[in-house]
Structure formats: structure tokens, C-alpha cells
A and B are shown apart, each in its own frame.
Chain A
């Protein structure tokens, strides 16, 4: 809302500087975002909260200015003329829910011309343009009372006036010259032939007041805020008028706005008032009386003040205050203040003028229960667990990413058969569905970085996945996703990271080969027969489809299940005796999994601590479908130092077990 200080000064005596007034209004809740000097005037730009439709009028702002300065407002209400007789034109309202009240006035023999300087100046300093004396008066009255008015060229209205929904594909050309196609979302004012205004938003070109207009029809109405909101959104057109109707307009000021506009037009356009008609009815009830207990109010605000102060402040807001019992007052809000319904509303009115900044800040003592409520405990543990996993993943060298919870349905279908949860009103088709997998976000983040010359990336994300459950229920669960890019060997870094996490949580797991829709070559991790996650290599065709420059290895772990299966750790004693190693060289054919060798070596072996691959090779002595490597086996006893001969004998036993096994060549 932009307003001119000089306009306000017509109603309140102001001595303060514009900056001082701006600060006072801001502290009282009318946030002044800018003050700008324009000739001998100041233009204020203020943000009006949705509950204060009364601040979309100069009268309302003047009332507020009076309150913050502790002054009285000077306001003359115009005389309302409802004679002469009703106009010949009938006014028909299809639905009173769209338009509950409609006033029409006919003014004849108008002389359309330029507005006088004083009027032009007020409009310009309120960031409106001057058109002609008729249009300018309607805008002046809208500014003053908050009720938008519209003047039609009476001679261009054929037949009766009809307030109805637009027909589908009905055309409308506004006074802005733009053509728009309407739907039944739009409320219109029509005559017997055509649409003459988009109700509450803009008049039509076909009936606008021009220099040649002789007779006019002046509209003042109360349109439904929702109807206007839907209508202007459907065609994407915001105007000063729609802005006000959307937040509601005052019924009591409707007559004043229309009445004052008529008076001014009669004067400035030397015209004659010839007819009045109203349709519909007033729906507003008068503000109710509210009983305030002062002790309660003090306890609510945490401040101490005198009853006199409360009375003074509320009275300055044009509220009626009556003292009742010693601790009680009865308050009747100002006529235009329908937002004041309860005690707390009155508390706020007092507090904002009294000054929020006068209330002393104190820290509450929050009682701690000896036993936390199970609901709170469960929630907080889940939060702590996520933090723990997040810290650990970062410790493992992974960078946390945050990706959108919505993705494109078709892209998601490449990863899972799970039906995604579609959005009714997506912003863009790229994000039209809630994701049942975190892989897509991971792939896109990796891609973003690979395309910028980065390589060997390691990312993780902790986020929710969503899926449909039953007919109309939703399953939302938190997962950890990990992604590692680079050459094939990088897969084992990912696998290692996943195992580190499982060890960290002290979880016993089983790993099996499996296939995923997006990863033909994958491992499944199971705990107590429940699948808790996967690790896999993104399939070549998807790598190509998404244009990834490196291989990508992905993992997803169910955090709820990890949390469920995690176990507390206990100290485990370890051997103090030396570790001795022996190497073994092997070759395996391509159909033999490493897991098989490991199983043979580990089963029944004595004092074997662990093993690792120290070298891999593919030399000319090996056939092409064989692959060679050297294993280093570590031996250790918990009771004694092993001597060389003992270790040789354990090692030979393992060699013998491997000898002559299918697919394994001992070298």
C-alpha cells in the first residue's frame, strides 16, 4: 500500500518527521518499507498484513497514525443521497455468495475533463495515474475509504446489469487494451449483450468513461474475497481493486465511498444525480463486546501497566472502553475492526501500541520430567540417530548433499516399479512426483559435478522416501543414500563405507548377490531376514541415459531399520601376541566368485586373523579367462607367540584345501 503523507494530514494533525512516523508505524505493525520525498509530500510504501483490510484505506491508516501519536482523527462522513427514484436499469445478481451487496448510481450530463491539480497530485503521490475527473474521483474514493468503485459509460450499457460467472471462452478486452479469454472462474458484470467488467478487477474497454461520455453509471459493490482471488488468479491479473476486494471491503464504508464519489463528480463534472439502486443485503454484524480481565492480560504479556494506559490506548484506536469490576474492562472494537474477536486480539491491540519493545525479555524455566514422554523420546532419538549417521558418513569422507524430494514420474520409473506419489499441482513436470528412491537426486548431483571437471566423487544424503500404501495412505521413511563415482575399483570404497557403517552400529548382516532395476550387478544386505539396503553399480544404459562421465556406484540403506537393529557395543579383548603373515598366489576363472575362495580359506582354518589382496595381475602364463592375485594371510594366536613352523603348517593346510578346487589354480 502506497500512501501520501499529505493525504493523511487531512485527517490527523502530524508534526513528526516522515522518518519518525515511519518508525512508529513499523513498531506498531504497519511496516513501512520505504519513504520517499515527492515535492512537498512524502510517499510511504507499507506492507499491510492480511488481517488489516482497513489499512488499505487512508481513513484506516489515519486512525492508526492518530493512535501511535496519541491524537484524534478528524473525519467528516458524507451525506448519503438515495433519492431520486431508482434507475430504470435492473441489477441482477446470480449468486449472493459472489456478490452480496451492489450499489448503482446514475449521474447524467457529466463534463469529462482533466482533474484539478489537487486531485492529480494526491493520485500521483499514491502511485496512481490521473485519467480524467470521473475515473480520478473513483480512485480517490477508493484510496480514502478502501472501497474500489467503477464508473461505466451509461450509454454503452445495453439493458439490465447482470452479475454472473463468465461463460466458457467468453472474450474480454480490459481498459488496459489486452484481450483475455474467460472461464467460469471469473465473475463478470455484463449487460444484455456483453461483458462490461471483470468484477472487482478491471472494467471493459467497451464501456469505459471517455472524453465523449455524457452519462455514467457508478458501481460500488461487495464481492466475495475468494471469488475475486480465484478470478484474478485464473487470468493472472492483479489490480489495486482486486487487491482490496480480496482482503474484503467494509460494508459501512461502501455508501460513504459511493456517496462521496457522487458528490465530487457532481461538483467537478458539473453533473446531475439521477438515480440510485441497491441490490443484495448487508451481511456484517456489529463488532461484539469483549470482557478483559486485566490481571490475565498482564500475565499473558508478561508486563505491568496501569488500567488508565489500557483505556487510553484502546480509545485512541476508536474502541469503546467501559470500566466494569475493579480488574475488568469491557471493550467494543471500532466498527471496521472485524478482526477483533477475542481477548487475545485486544491484548495485541494494546501491546502493539504500548510497544512490544517495552516488554522485558525473560528466559522461561522449562521443567524437566524425570521420565521423558515416550512420544517425545522416540522423536528425539530418531533425530539424534540421523545426526550420528550424518557425522559418521562425513567422517568416512563423503560429502552431504540435499536434493529435491520431488522428481519426474517417468524418470523415477527407471529405478523402481513402486508407483510414485503424484502431485496434483506440480510446479514443473521435472518435479511432478514424490520420490520412492533417492538415487535420482544422487545421480543428478554427481552429474552436475562431473560435468564441471570433478572426478572420484563420494556423496551421501539423508532424506525421506515416499510411497503409496493401500488405497489412500502414505508411507514415508528415512533413508541414507551413498554414491561414489570413478573407476570400477571405487565400488569397493563404497562397499567398505557401508560395512564401516554397519560395524559402527554393531549390526550383524548377510550379503547376497542381487539385481535391482537400475543395477543388474548389486548386493543386498540383510539383517534377520529383513532387507535393510543395497549396494550396486548403476547400469551402463542408465549411465549413458544420464550422460555420466564416470561409473557410478550407489547404495541405499533404510535408517529406520538400521536404528532398529543397532546394538550397544561392549569391549572386546584382543590378542597381545605378534601377527605373522604368509602369502599365497592364486588364479581364478571368471565364473568363480572371490567369496568362494574366502569361504574355503576361512572354514576350519587355525589362528587365521584376516586376509587381504596385496596384488592382482593378468599375466601371459594365464589363460584369458583367468585372473591372478596374491593374498596375504595373517595369523595370530590369542594364547601365545606362534613360531614359524606352526604358521607354515597352518598355511599349508589352507593351500591343500585350495588345491584342485574347481575354478581355482594354485600357483
Chain B
């Protein structure tokens, strides 16, 4: 028996030195400790030994078994550690992610702010007619914006006498006119979308751009509500700290009309006095023009068959491209339509 044990010991020690892989030690485990191993065989032989020797050899065999087992486990855990050690400092492999165009995501963001206040989003069509794009908005037939220099006309026969020529909408107002014609007040509508004006393309002009316009019509909708609505929007969109400045302006479709400036988000007003030339966004003025707005002209309501003696309302409009350029400090409008992946990926979802 002693000889058998010694033989196992020797053979195991030899085998142990040969071992290199994890699998090898797994096999060694089977060879020395498994059901068909020499040790199991010796264990099962114990009952055949003289009674007084059984205890001693049983003990000896157990010691051997434990020695082998712990030797293997030690090597195994060493191996496992070695084989599984990962160098975590290798570069990351990033999943292929998509992106949403910044004009789309900001358009949605703005619409959602107005939706919170109860506005409905409507988009409408881009191909429109003169009546909806101009006449209904109190823009007279001889107004410069109707010129071929300011509006794209389609090479198509007139729709009918009242509608006039087919054109690409130069603002999203015609879509709002259609809603006012079809749905009775009270109404609160926000309409985003592509609009077109024949401006030669440069860093600040594009013949296609994005606009968001909105209007509210009801019995008591007044200028004070216009101010509040836009201030709410500006504080949600830019920051809670911003102020708005309403400057009287002229639009044929609103009266009173105003242009709205937002206090520069980049430089505070304090900054303005100290560093006149420093702010690259507002150029030291402290204010950025972001919106046009006003109380809807009664002629516009009447054109949509809304009784202007009973109802009044406000309307506003903003260029998304311009607001995005200001907020993200983008200096060239062409970046929006060139679709360079270096640009697109900066605003991934």
C-alpha cells in the first residue's frame, strides 16, 4: 500500500510539472481524483485490508487525496487568473449609434414646450397657393414679399382665380390659415416645418430653412398672454434666467406687432458692460433677436371666417435654424444641409 501511494505521488508530481493549460489540469483532476482513478480504486480496496490497518491507510489515502486536490486547485486558479485577465485599458468599442438632425430635435423640443401649454401641433403642406400664403394674411397684391425675388413659384397653371399661383410656402402661416378656416375657436396651434425663400446661399442664408409658428385665438386672448406664453417658452428653452424684450415692429398680419429679443444666454447683462466686444453671440449687445409676433390682425381672422368682433388672438413665428445657431454657437447655416457626419454625430440621440 505504501508503495502504491508513493507511486501515485511520484507520477502526480511529474504530471503536475507538465501541465500548461487549464484543460490539462481539469483532466488531471479526473485522472487522480475521478471515479476511475487509482486513488478511488485504493479506497474501494480498504475493506479488503486487515482490520487494524484499515484506519491508517484510509487516513494516508485521504491525506494524499487532499494534497493532490489542493495542488491541482492551486494551479487551476493560477491558470484561470492568468487566462482570464483582461487588459481593460484597450480602447472602447462603441456601438454604432444613430443620430437625429439638430434641426429636427430642436423643432420637436420647441413643439413639446408649447404642447405642455395645450397647443396642438399641425404641419400642413409645403406647396401652397397665393391666397393662403399671402392674401389671407393681409399681404397686399403689390407687397414685395410676393415678388419672384422673395417667393418660389411653381411652373404650373393657376389653381383657380381666388387661390392664384402655386408656390412654395415662404412661412408656415398658410398651414395655420387652413386650420383657422376649418376649426372653430378656441384654438391653440403650433406649426413647424420647412419653408422656402429664394435667398442666395451663404453663411447666414439658405433658400430652405425651418420655421415654427404658433397662434392662439379665443375670446379674451390679449397681448399680455402673448408676452407670457413667449416668456414661458424662452425660459423652458434657453434657461430660467432669461428675459425677453418686446420691440414694436411691423408685420401685415399682426397689429400690434413686435420683434422679440432674448437676453444673451452666453453673456449676462453685467458682462455686457464690462466686455463690450467679447461676446461672440450677441456681439456685446446683450440681446438676440429670436421671434416675430403680435395680435392677429382682424382682417386675417375675417379672411378665415372668424368673427373679429367676438374673437381675438395672437401669433408668433421663429426661425429654427437661427435659434439653433445661437444656442449651439454654429456659425454657418450651410452645415445644416451639407450633412457632414462630423456635424450630424455631434447631436446624436
Bound-state CA distance A356–B247 (Å) is 7
- Contact string, B183-208, partner A, CB cutoff 8 A, digits 1/0? 10010110010101011100000011
A to B CB contacts below 8 Å, 28 in the list: A50-B250, A51-B250, A344-B297, A348-B255, A351-B223, A356-B248, A357-B246, A364-B188, A364-B228, A366-B118, A366-B119, A376-B189, A382-B123, A383-B123, A394-B349, A399-B344, A399-B348, A400-B99, A400-B344, A404-B207, A404-B208, A405-B208, A406-B152, A421-B154, A422-B155, A427-B200, A434-B154, A460-B98
User: B298 contacts A342, CB within 8 Å?
Assistant: yes
Tell which of B152, B158, B339 has the most Cβ of chain A within 10 Å. B339
Chain B residues with CB below 8 A from A303, complex form = 223-224
- A residues contacting B by CB (< 8 A) are 26-29, 31, 49-52, 225-226, 229, 233, 246, 299-303, 342, 344-345, 347-348, 351-352, 356-357, 359-364, 366-368, 372-373, 375-376, 379-380, 382-384, 387, 390-391, 393-406, 421-427, 431, 434, 445, 448-449, 452, 454, 457-460, 462-464, 466, 468, 471-474, 476
User: B228 contacts A380, CB within 8 Å?
Assistant: no
User: B156 contacts A52, CB within 8 Å?
Assistant: no
Q: Would you call B262 an interface residue if the criterion is a C-beta within 8 Å of the partner chain's C-beta atoms?
A: no
Chain A residues with CB below 8 A from B223, complex form = 300-303, 351, 356, 359
Closest to B151 in A: A425
Q: Would you call B345 an interface residue if the criterion is a C-beta within 8 Å of the partner chain's C-beta atoms?
A: yes
Q: Residue B166 contacts which of A51, A347, A474 (CB distance < 8 angstroms)?
A: A474
User: A427 contacts B198, CB within 8 Å?
Assistant: yes
* Nearest chain B CB to A321 CB, angstrom units: 18
Bound-state CA distance A517–B104 (Å) is 31
Tell which of B119, B142, B250 has the most Cβ of chain A within 10 Å. B250
Closest to A224 in B: B142
User: A366 contacts B183, CB within 8 Å?
Assistant: no
Closest to A464 in B: B126
User: B207 contacts A27, CB within 8 Å?
Assistant: no
User: B148 contacts A402, CB within 8 Å?
Assistant: no
Closest to B216 in A: A364
Tell which of A360, A361, A372 has the most Cβ of chain B within 10 Å. A361
Tell which of A299, A384, A454 has the most Cβ of chain B within 10 Å. A299
Given A31-B247, A356-B246, answer yes or no on A347-B255 (Cβ-Cβ < 8 Å).
yes
List which B313-349 residues lie within 8 A (CB) of chain A. Answer: 336-341, 344-345, 348-349
Chain B residues with CB below 8 A from A367, complex form = 118, 186, 218
Bound-state CA distance A246–B149 (Å) is 15
Closest to B182 in A: A375
- Contact string, B93-129, partner A, CB cutoff 8 A, digits 1/0? 0011111110110001001000001111111111100
Closest 7 CB pairs of A and B: A302-B224, A29-B248, A366-B118, A348-B256, A394-B98, A302-B222, A49-B250
Given A226-B142, A396-B98, A472-B166, answer yes or no on A362-B227 (Cβ-Cβ < 8 Å).
yes
* Nearest chain A CB to B332 CB, angstrom units: 15
Bound-state CA distance A403–B194 (Å) is 11
Q: Would you call B257 an interface residue if the criterion is a C-beta within 8 Å of the partner chain's C-beta atoms?
A: yes
Q: Residue A366 contacts which of B216, B249, B297 (CB distance < 8 angstroms)?
A: B216
Bound-state CA distance A359–B293 (Å) is 15
Bound-state CA distance A322–B190 (Å) is 41
Q: Would you call B312 an interface residue if the criterion is a C-beta within 8 Å of the partner chain's C-beta atoms?
A: yes
Bound-state CA distance A229–B142 (Å) is 10
* Nearest chain B CB to A17 CB, angstrom units: 15
User: A400 contacts B104, CB within 8 Å?
Assistant: yes
Given A300-B223, A366-B118, A382-B123, answer yes or no on A427-B228 (Cβ-Cβ < 8 Å).
no
Given A347-B255, A425-B153, A458-B98, answer yes or no on A366-B250 (Cβ-Cβ < 8 Å).
no
Q: How many A-B residue pairs have CB under 8 A?
A: 257
Q: Residue A468 contacts which of B156, B198, B250 (CB distance < 8 angstroms)?
A: B156
Given A375-B183, A391-B349, A474-B154, answer yes or no on A459-B228 (Cβ-Cβ < 8 Å).
no
Chain A residues with CB below 8 A from B189, complex form = 376
Q: Would you call B232 an interface residue if the criterion is a C-beta within 8 Å of the partner chain's C-beta atoms?
A: yes
User: B100 contacts A390, CB within 8 Å?
Assistant: yes
Bound-state CA distance A376–B189 (Å) is 9
* Nearest chain A CB to B335 CB, angstrom units: 11
Chain B residues with CB below 8 A from A246, complex form = 144
Bound-state CA distance A382–B121 (Å) is 9
Closest to B207 in A: A427
- B residues contacting A by CB (< 8 A) are 95-101, 103-104, 108, 111, 117-127, 142, 144, 147-149, 152-159, 166, 168, 179, 182-183, 186, 188-189, 192, 194, 196, 198-200, 207-208, 216, 218, 220-225, 227-232, 244-250, 255-259, 295, 297-298, 312, 336-341, 344-345, 348-349
Given A351-B248, A471-B157, answer yes or no on A405-B216 (Cβ-Cβ < 8 Å).
no
Chain A residues with CB below 8 A from B247, complex form = 26-27, 29, 31, 356
Given A229-B144, A344-B297, A393-B98, answer yes or no on A405-B122 (Cβ-Cβ < 8 Å).
no
Q: Can you name 16 extra interface pairs (CB under 8 A) apart from A426-B152, A449-B341?
A: A246-B144, A301-B256, A342-B298, A344-B297, A348-B257, A352-B256, A356-B246, A362-B227, A367-B218, A376-B179, A399-B98, A400-B99, A421-B155, A448-B340, A458-B96, A476-B125
Q: Residue B224 contacts which of A362, A457, A460 (CB distance < 8 angstroms)?
A: A362
User: A52 contacts B144, CB within 8 Å?
Assistant: no
User: B339 contacts A449, CB within 8 Å?
Assistant: yes
Bound-state CA distance A373–B123 (Å) is 15
User: B256 contacts A379, CB within 8 Å?
Assistant: no
Chain B residues with CB below 8 A from A345, complex form = 255
Chain A residues with CB below 8 A from B227, complex form = 302, 356, 359-362
Bound-state CA distance A424–B198 (Å) is 12
Bound-state CA distance A380–B229 (Å) is 21
Given A302-B225, A403-B337, answer yes or no on A424-B127 (Cβ-Cβ < 8 Å).
no
User: B148 contacts A425, CB within 8 Å?
Assistant: yes
Bound-state CA distance A375–B295 (Å) is 24
Given A452-B340, A472-B156, answer yes or no on A366-B123 (Cβ-Cβ < 8 Å).
no
User: A402 contacts B101, CB within 8 Å?
Assistant: yes
Bound-state CA distance A359–B314 (Å) is 15
Closest to B222 in A: A302
Chain A residues with CB below 8 A from B232, complex form = 363
Closest to B112 in A: A387
* Nearest chain B CB to A426 CB, angstrom units: 8
Closest to A363 in B: B228
Closest to A300 in B: B222
Bound-state CA distance A379–B97 (Å) is 30
* Nearest chain A CB to B158 CB, angstrom units: 7
Chain B residues with CB below 8 A from A427, complex form = 198-200, 207
Closest to A401 in B: B339
Chain A residues with CB below 8 A from B182, complex form = 375
User: A424 contacts B154, CB within 8 Å?
Assistant: yes
Bound-state CA distance A359–B142 (Å) is 34
Bound-state CA distance A359–B344 (Å) is 42
Closest to B208 in A: A404
* Nearest chain A CB to B227 CB, angstrom units: 4
Chain A residues with CB below 8 A from B98, complex form = 393-400, 458, 460
Given A344-B298, A399-B345, answer yes or no on A28-B157 (Cβ-Cβ < 8 Å).
no
* Nearest chain A CB to B257 CB, angstrom units: 7
* Nearest chain A CB to B246 CB, angstrom units: 4
* Nearest chain B CB to A91 CB, angstrom units: 26
Chain B residues with CB below 8 A from A474, complex form = 127, 154, 156, 166
* Nearest chain A CB to B282 CB, angstrom units: 13
Chain B residues with CB below 8 A from A383, complex form = 111, 121-123, 192
Bound-state CA distance A463–B223 (Å) is 35
Chain A residues with CB below 8 A from B188, complex form = 364, 366
Q: Residue B344 contacts which of A52, A397, A401 (CB distance < 8 angstroms)?
A: A401
Chain B residues with CB below 8 A from A394, complex form = 97-100, 348-349
Chain A residues with CB below 8 A from B255, complex form = 342, 344-345, 347-348
Bound-state CA distance A394–B349 (Å) is 7
* Nearest chain A CB to B171 CB, angstrom units: 15
Given A300-B295, A422-B154, A476-B125, answer yes or no on A362-B228 (Cβ-Cβ < 8 Å).
yes
Bound-state CA distance A401–B101 (Å) is 6
